[in-house]
Amino acid sequence: MPGNKAVVYEGPGKVEVHETGYPEFELKDGPGVNPANVGRKLPHAAILKTVATNICGSDQHMVRGRTTAPPGLVLGHEITGEVVETGRDVEFVKTGDLVSVPFNISCGRCRNCKERNTHICENVNPDRPGSAYGYVDMGGWTGGQADYALVPYADWNLLTFPDKDQAMEKILDLAMLTDIFPTGFHGCVSAGVGPGSTVYIAGAGPVGLAAAASAFLLGAAVVIVGDLNKERLAQARSFGCETVDVSRGEPRDQIEELLGVPEVDCAVDAVGFEARGHGRESGEEHPATVLNTLMDVTRAGGALGIPGLYVTGDPGAHDDAAKHGSLSIRIGLGWAKAHSFVTGQCPVMRYNRQLMTAILHDRVQIAKAVNATPIPLDEAPRGYHEFDEGAARKYVLDPHGLIPKAA
């Protein structure tokens, strides 16, 4: 049996790569594992040799100490890999298949899964609907920033690439199917982006950039991306976006300079609860800023897609209300403008097959849009640090050195 190494959260600001156990077809006790899940048998699971596993902004929330994640938690919910072993109940997925893993863990059997709401599966997290690998309060399923990872309900969850050689040629693009590409796309679909739309996307991190690429794929006429980080704004401009530097002031004024009117048709929040203020307040945290801005700049009757992460517990928040996820949102403004809101995790399986086809047929270059950058697994601490410092990159961990070979 091969050994296994994984990226482990050791406390605020600290991640390390440790030797860990090879996956088994049973959930073991450990940091973050829900007691009700301990001992759960997984004959329906598959073990993957990880080909690519990405660092996500959602991981950074934990690493910054902004959640209740326990030290010792194995990180990583964006997994692409090769099947090396299957449980006795796996019928269709085969050893040797190259697959993408939706970050949502779902059973395929409950009411929500059958209604395509795989982001709120009722059977994988004893505490509440919805689960993910390597994430706080998500049931305790082991993270995938590792040499090897285990995926439950493999026949249901895994998306198999039809041509392995073709997939390896586009592996950096396909690695984005686990989370950020469908998440950005979901934000745009939720906001009603379509042909000729004008769109404002708050946040030029990887999800915001993926949302911008998705907006173009959906036919948007103008895509405006707002952020404080000049390097990330430059990355947005590299594939045709207009940009707003929110450190200069309110986006509304800069949007008017670009469009001639201060409002857009649709808006997407790709920032979440660690949002900062605008203008003079750009150095301060104001967690409701993005939500309130989106209501301000979206036309009456428009919609807001909100894939940006919001939490029920934020020990690092600056006020007691925000520590429990209560924010000062101008809901009266949204009500007066008859806005529609869609929040929550993206149901990845609703989109990943279609987006895979778009990648394989060269309709989108998502890795280029988000500046996907492969690094070895052992360099994960550097990747986390540079990403936290604002690098305009999507770091892709390459545990077995397979990505350079493909390139």
Distances (CA, A) of 301 to 10, 211, 306, 334: 46, 21, 16, 9
| pLDDT at residue 256, rounded to an integer | 97
Q: Tell me which fold the domain 180-343 belongs to.
A: Rossmann fold (3.40.50)
Q: Is 175 helix (H, G, I), strand (E, B) or coil?
A: helix
Residue 407: CB atoms within 10 A of its CB come to 10
pLDDT digits (tens, 9 = 90+) for 257-290: 999 999 999 999 999 888 878 877 777 778 889 9
Q: How far is CA 222 from CA 10, 197, 237, 248, 266, in A?
A: 43, 7, 12, 21, 11
Long-range contacts of 55-59 (CB under 8 A, 24+ apart): 55/145, 55/380, 55/383, 55/384, 55/387, 55/394, 55/395, 55/396, 55/397, 56/179, 56/180, 56/206, 57/205, 57/206, 57/207, 57/272, 57/309, 57/387, 58/135, 58/309, 59/134, 59/384
pLDDT tens digits in sequence order for the chain, 407 residues long: 688 999 999 999 999 999 999 999 999 999 989 999 999 999 999 999 999 999 999 899 899 988 889 999 999 999 999 999 999 999 999 999 999 999 999 999 999 999 999 999 999 999 999 999 999 988 899 999 999 999 999 999 999 999 999 999 999 999 999 999 999 999 999 999 999 999 999 999 999 999 999 999 999 999 999 999 999 999 999 999 999 999 999 999 999 999 999 999 999 999 988 887 887 777 777 888 999 999 999 999 999 999 998 887 778 777 788 787 788 889 999 999 999 999 999 999 999 999 999 999 999 999 999 999 999 999 999 999 999 999 999 999 999 999 976 55
Cα–Cα distance for residue pair 249/140, rounded to 1 Å: 41
Sign of torsion, CA 165 171 177 179? positive
Nearest to 190, CA basis, from 226, 215, 159, 219: 215
pLDDT of residue 28: 92
Q: What is the pLDDT of residue 405?
A: 60
**Cβ–Cβ < 8 Å for 59, 74:** no
Residue 311 confidence (pLDDT): 80
Neighbour tally for 101: CB within 10 Å: 28
Looking at residue 297, its pLDDT comes to 98
Percent of the chain with pLDDT strictly greater than 70: 99
Integer Cα distance of 384 and 361 in angstroms: 32
Assign domain 4-179+347-406 to a CATH class: alpha beta
Task: Name the nearest CA neighbour of 353 among 159, 174, 164, 176.
Answer: 159
The pTM score is: 0.95
Kindly report, as residue ranges, where domains of CATH 3.40.50.720 are found in the chain: 180-343
